[in-house]
Amino acid sequence: MLIGIIGAPNKGKSTIFSALTMASAEIADYPFTTIKPNLGVAYATRQCVEKELHVKCKPRNGLCINGVREIPINITDVAGLVPDAHLGKGMGNQFLSDLAGASAFIQVVDLSGKTDIHGNAGEGYDPAEEVLAVRKEVALWLAGIIVKHKGALSKRNDGEKALVETLTGFGLKDAQVRKAAEACGLGTSQIAWDEKEAYAFADKLLAISKPTVVAANKLDMANPEALERLRKKLDGYTVIGCSGAVELALRKAAAGGIIDYAPGSAGFEVKREVGAEQKKALDYMSDFVKKNGGTGVQEVIDTVVFKELKEIVVYPVEDENKYTDHFGNVLPDALLVTKGSKAVDLAEAIHSDLAKGMLYAIDAKKKLRVAKDYALTDNDVLRIVSAAK
């Protein structure tokens, strides 16, 4: 899974990336700070199943802090997108190519309205226009690829497969292409769509295959009514108010041992004496997270993973009685699988040979045998029984 952080220049994308990953990314209040994509690991959070099972887990992947499991997610922050990027303006096609493999997008906008679509400072700009403009650019880019390959597409009867191959690297499925085409009233045999039809298809395909959560950044600098106004304008989008700057400051303070802070929390504990300026900053951030129920940054990533991508968490084990692997680690792995996946899909995620030789699985909670086509549910703990060693 790869989540792409997108948006117009100078909206705080790199700040949110750094907050989510604690990786180094250049941050500045001018356009095109990011040239090459930043790649890192963020963490989706869920209540761990350890409490339900009355055990203490020992993760191999991610962490578990105070009963909250942190599950690693690949994330990328790409260069800012400007109008006519599909024609090569700004970082243009590089931007679009960098995000092609993402499963979903987090679009960062400046809720305070103090930067325009090009990333230049000002006042009174509408962040809703940024969301629509970025979506349009990506759709135009996709439509351009389709029109460019119309000659080859028009010769094939298997249009769904042909489009998946043409848009290679975009991670599409035949069913997504079919659904988007049907929604636009377009046939997929011998495709010869004009530019308008290709754009309508591309726009619908984006909505189906690349869900987008809008991170309304700089909530701490915005007018109180700005968030609700943006949500009304972007009906159909999930919009979450957040402050990347506050989240990054809190994570750095926690890493430095100044505070005890868990991402997503609506509060923190100061662990040692600080100077007057630091205390003033900590008091400000404390008031902000209490008022808003957190900084919103962790909520953004969790919403993308669990709501938009419809992922669930499953724990594979080798001992269904002790919930351990063969090293004795309790609940060692928390794996994300898409809702609707089967037990054999979990086996495939662990190792293809395990899936090929799979006989059945054991529900470790109920101590019951389940078939390969058992539909996984959230927080399942399963042992895969396979002829493969």
Domains of the chain: total: 2
Say whether both 168 and 316 belong to one domain.
Answer: no
Supply the CATH number for residue 17's domain. Answer: 1.10.8.470
Domain that holds residue 221: 2-37+78-233
Asked, for residue 274, whether it belongs to a domain, the answer is: no
pTM for this model (two decimals): 0.87
Tens of pLDDT, residue by residue over 189-227, are: 888 899 999 999 999 999 999 899 999 999 999 988 999
User: What confidence score (pLDDT) does residue 65 get?
Assistant: 87
Supply the CATH number for residue 355's domain. Answer: 3.10.20.30
Residue 142 scores a pLDDT above 70? yes
- Mean of the per-residue pLDDT values for the chain? 88
Asked, for residue 338, whether it belongs to a domain, the answer is: yes
Cβ contacts of 278-286, under 8 Å, gap ≥ 24: 281/249, 282/253, 282/258, 285/246, 285/249, 285/250
Determine the average pLDDT of the residues in 171-184.
90
The tokens of 101 are what?
A: 């493999």
Confidence of residue 130 (pLDDT cuts 50, 70, 90): confident
User: What confidence score (pLDDT) does residue 84 get?
Assistant: 56
Count the Cβ atoms, other than its own, within 10 Å of residue 29. 11
Number of C-alpha atoms within 13 angstroms, CB side, residue 72? 11
- % helix / strand / coil in the chain, to the nearest 5? 40, 20, 40
Coil, strand or helix at 175: helix
User: What confidence score (pLDDT) does residue 119 get?
Assistant: 72
